[in-house]
Amino acid sequence: MTRRALQELLDHSAKVYPDRTAIEEAGEGRLTYRELSELSDRLRDRLFSLGLGPGERAGIYVRKSIDAVVAIFGILKTGAAYVPLDPGAPAARNAYILNDCAVKVAVVEESLEARLRDEMAQIGSLPGLFVLRGAGGGLPMREALEREQQRDPAASSPTVISDPDDLAYVLYTSGSTGKPKGVMLSHRNAMSFVDWCSEIFDPVPVDRFSSHAPLHFDLSVLDIFVAIKHGAVLVLIGEEIGKDPLRLAPLISAKKISIWYSAPSILSLLTQYGNLERYDYSRLRLVLFAGEVFPIKHLRALKSAIPRPRYFNLYGPTETNVCTFYEIPSQIPEGRTEPFPIGKSCAHLQTVVVDDDGGTVASGQEGELCVKGVAVMKGYWNLPEQSARAFLEDPSGELWYRTGDVVIEETDGNCRFIGRRDRMVKRRGYRVELGEIEACLYGHPGIREVAAVPISDHEGAVRIKAFLSCGGDKRPSIVQLKNFCAQHLPLYMIPDLFSFRDALPKTSTGKTDYQRLKEMD
């Protein structure tokens, strides 16, 4: 039977693999498929009693944990959509999201409740709250359900099986107005991606998936739902361990992870500081990465340290999840300095490269990558005009999502990522892609991390500043860096300023935080 709603994946696996471990934390907490299904059923009933139902939205303001995953499935089983919040973000931002998305009920960790109440009081009405006295292992969820059941019994209700076009979740991303915007994804959107992953990566029940990405990051969709669909084990990795290569490297080995998925930045750190040669990674069969460019020198070092797995570069914005992919060859030539392509479109989607007027460009020419198909978002929550601007209408009336990414489609059909439209600047009459400057500096043996940002002087002229962190004790001099750039870049692309940091700031999703860098400047 073809399943059409995400919540059906758990119920199916609970019937087929009731006693297999479904989910475990980096510590000792774990639940079987039967336990995960039953606990999410109990939360479904409690949420129904709080007024949540089909077509509503429910927030999750809980640290990544078994409890948070139970909340995802409990919400979905009511027919509502889940809205995951970042516990590390300012309470004001999270209050804005709850208010903007008209969230009916929120599952909230007690330590976060007071600040949330204060912020919500200033901007709107507070949603109904289901409060957990902590997060971890599923015990706080179980205790909260028992406590509320004794106080006010909730009747048992059947799981709602959502229609494919019903909203499944809303992921908030940075918005151009300074306010986050909610990307609306349906069950059909998500299930098409989950099914594509099943075909390409061939998951099996003995697989053990990493869950490195935070729940408000679109990478988590693969982690959770592909693992659950196939009766595999989902291994949750908390934020602290997830950013610490010295603790993460042995954890991947000890937990016998077989399918890893993350942004490249943590893999780069693992390569440099994880002492990978000390550990057994024989169970690791797939290394998937997405979200940013993987510097070739770090990717080469990782493949040298862990050669057995297949490596895939997955590309796509939150609005489409993954839309193109590329398998990294088994050997990376020593002379290669350019990142690998983002590849060809996934089978359930179509891509096209267009010019500024929306016309298709020839192979080998730069243009904006546009995507259409079953996985493309429904739109932005409560932003009809911005939703309309996000799409290009072709002569036949078909709508294509405009990614804002500039690519070149090569003669073999693979797309090569050039950069973001919003990371291109005009300098001395030339168009400069900041990512190209970063790629150049990553080629320097003494550089560990790079971020290039544009700054304007008092006369409005654009200057380029490169923020760097170095791998060794000795930093290269400014003269050495300028000479190195001069060997690889035209003069107009050489940064005007260089600034050294112990480490570059990261967003909650593990990407370089360019906004913080601009503020630091």
pLDDT in tens, 364-420: 999 999 999 999 999 999 999 999 999 999 999 999 999 989 999 999 999 999 887
Residue 254 maps to a domain? no
392 lies in the same domain as 448? no
The domain boundary, picked from 141, 158, 186, lies at 186
Residue 57, token pair as written in the block: 């939205």
pLDDT tens, residue by residue, 5-27: 999 999 999 999 999 999 999 87
pLDDT for the residue 303: 97
404 lies in the same domain as 474? no
Which contacts (CB < 8 Å, 24+ apart) does range 291-294 have? 291/217, 291/219, 291/263, 291/264, 291/509, 291/510, 291/511, 292/263, 292/264, 292/265, 292/511, 292/512, 293/264, 293/339, 293/417, 293/435, 293/438, 293/439, 294/264, 294/267, 294/268, 294/339, 294/340
Residue 465 maps to a domain? yes
Query: Can you give 342-399 as a three-state secondary structure string?
Result: CEEECCCEEEEEECCCCCECCCCCEEEEEEEECCCCCEECCCHHHHHHCEEECCCCCE
Give the Å distances, CA to CA, from 251 to 193, 305, 307, 337, 386: 28, 16, 18, 31, 42
Residue 512 maps to a domain? yes
Residue 278 maps to a domain? no
pLDDT for the residue 376: 98
Q: Which domain holds residue 391?
A: 349-418
pLDDT for the residue 175: 66
pLDDT tier, 178 (very low <50, low <70, confident <90, very high otherwise): low
Q: Which residue has the higher pLDDT, 506 or 329?
A: 329
pLDDT tier, 80 (very low <50, low <70, confident <90, very high otherwise): very high
Residue 63 maps to a domain? yes
Mean pLDDT, range 314-341, rounded to an integer: 94
93 lies in the same domain as 150? yes
CATH number of the domain residue 448 falls in: 3.30.300.30
516 lies in the same domain as 393? no
pLDDT for the residue 14: 98
pLDDT for the residue 2: 63
pLDDT for the residue 271: 95
Within its chain, how far is the Cα of 261 from the centroid? 10
Of 213, 196, 189, 234, nearest to 13 by C-alpha is 234
Reply yes or no on whether the pLDDT at 176 is more than 70: no
57 lies in the same domain as 167? yes
45 lies in the same domain as 163? yes
410 lies in the same domain as 434? no
Residue 459 maps to a domain? yes
Domains in the chain, number: 3
369 lies in the same domain as 487? no
Give the Å distances, CA to CA, from 211 to 22, 26, 247, 314, 483: 12, 10, 15, 16, 42
482 lies in the same domain as 404? no
410 lies in the same domain as 448? no
CATH number of the domain residue 171 falls in: 3.40.50.12780
Reply yes or no on whether the pLDDT at 459 is more than 60: no
Residue 502 maps to a domain? yes
Residue 198 maps to a domain? no
Q: Could you give the CA distance from residue 505 to residue 501 in angstroms, rounded to a whole number?
A: 9
Lowest mean pLDDT among 55-59, 81-85, 205-209, 292-296: 292-296
60 lies in the same domain as 107? yes
The domain boundary, picked from 418, 437, 469, lies at 418
pLDDT tens, residue by residue, 100-155: 999 999 999 999 999 999 999 999 889 999 999 999 999 999 999 999 999 999 99
CATH number of the domain residue 391 falls in: 2.30.38.10
Mean pLDDT, range 281-288, rounded to an integer: 98
The domain boundary, picked from 159, 186, 213, lies at 186
CB within 8 A of 504, min separation 6: which ones?
Answer: 449, 451, 467, 469, 512, 513, 517
Can you give the pTM of this predicted structure? 0.86
Lowest mean pLDDT among 220-229, 369-378, 418-427: 418-427
389 lies in the same domain as 505? no
pLDDT, averaged across the chain: 92
Neighbouring C-beta atoms of residue 5, cutoff 10 Å: 23
pLDDT for the residue 429: 58
Q: Could you give the CA distance from residue 234 to residue 303 in angstroms, rounded to a whole number?
A: 24
